[in-house]
Amino acid sequence: MVNYRVENLEKLVKELKKEGVKVVDTIETFSYGKFIHILDPEGNKIELWEPDDIEFEKLVKGNAKQ
């Protein structure tokens, strides 16, 4: 599955729906960002991610090996 980082996920999803893009689920929100899945014209699942960069960096740094 391909994962794209995007800005303003809610606005993007509205525009994609207007264009007839198949939205698989609803936006899920986590401390490190928001996610949703769509299908491309061939039926491949794509993940869209609007990161919360500050929280994501904390998560990554917390798991980095010293």
Domains (ranges, CATH) in the chain?
Answer: 2-63 (3.10.180.10)
pLDDT of residue 66: 47
pLDDT of 32: 87
Q: Are strands 28-30 and 45-51 parallel, antiparallel or unpaired?
A: unpaired
Largest CA distance in the chain: 47
CA 19 from centroid of its chain's CA atoms: 18
Average pLDDT estimate for 11-17: 98
For 31-66, write each residue's pLDDT tens digit.
889 999 999 999 999 999 999 867 767 777 877 554
CB distance 34 to 28 below 8 Å: yes
Amino acid at 17: K
The residue written with tokens 């980095």 in the block is: 64
Q: Which three-class secondary structure state does DSSP give residue 40?
A: coil
